[in-house]
Amino acid sequence: MIQKTRAEITKCILHKVANKFNSGHNVFSENTIRFDQESYDLMKSFLLKPFGSITQSYRFSHHADVRLNELNNYSTAIFKDESVFVEFSKNIVNHLYEQSNSAQIKTGDVIVAFIEGIEFNNVLTEAIGIFKIENKVDFFQTYLDDANSYDVIVQKGISTKKIDKGCLILNTSDAQGTIVFSVDNNNYDAQYWIKNFLGVKLADDFNSHTQNYLELCKEFSEEVIKPEFGKHEQGAFLANTVDYFKEHESVDYEQFKDELFQDDKHKELFEEYKKHFETLNDVLIRNNFNISDVVLKKEKNKLKTEIKLDTHFIIKLDVDAPDAASEYLERGYDEEKKMKYYKVYFNEER
How far is 238 from 253, CA to CA, in rounded Å?
16
What is residue 271's predicted lDDT score, i.e. its pLDDT?
94
* 219 and 181 assigned to the same domain: no
pLDDT at 161 over 70: yes
Q: Structural domain tally of the chain?
A: 2
CA neighbor of 12 nearest in space, from 107, 99, 131, 119: 131
Residue 167 — left, alpha, or beta (φ > 0 → left; ψ -120 to 50 → alpha)?
A: beta
Domain extent at residue 295: 207-344
- Say if 126 falls within a structural domain: yes
Residue 155 domain-assigned (yes or no): no
Residue 280 pLDDT > 90: no
**Worst-scoring range by mean pLDDT, 32-36, 94-98, 225-229?**
225-229
Confidence of residue 37 (pLDDT cuts 50, 70, 90): very high
Contacts of residue 263, defined as CB under 8 A and 6 or more positions apart, other chains included, come to none
329 vs 177, more confident? 177
Q: In this predicted structure, which of 101-105, 188-192, 228-232, 323-327 has the lowest mean pLDDT?
A: 323-327
**E-strand spans in 175-280?**
177-184, 200-202, 250-252
Contact, 47 vs 162, CB < 8 A? no
Q: Is the domain of 59 the same as that of 166?
A: yes
Is 140 within the bounds of a domain? no
Cα–Cα distance between 325 and 314 in angstroms, integer?
14
**Do both 167 and 250 map to the same domain?**
no
The average pLDDT across 118-131 equals 94
Is residue 190 pLDDT above 80, yes or no? no
Where does the pLDDT of residue 304 fall: very low under 50, low under 70, confident under 90, or very high at 90 and above?
A: low
Where does a domain end: 151, 177, 202? 202
Please report, rounded to a whole number, the percentage of residues in the chain having pLDDT higher than 70: 98
Last residue of a domain, one of 147, 180, 202: 202
CB burial string 32-44: b at 16+ within 10 A, e below: beeeeeeeeeebb
Q: What is the mean pLDDT of the chain?
A: 90
Q: 172 and 282: one domain? A: no
Contact 74, 91 (CB under 8 A): yes
pTM for the model stands at 0.77
Residues 48 and 168 in one domain: yes
Residues 182 and 237 in one domain: no
Look at residue 284 in the predicted model and tell me its pLDDT.
87
Q: What is the pLDDT of residue 287?
A: 93
Tell how far CA 43 is from the center of its chain. 21
Quick one: pLDDT at residue 29?
97
Identify the residue with better confidence: 350 or 172.
172
| pLDDT interval class at 2 (50, 70, 90) | confident
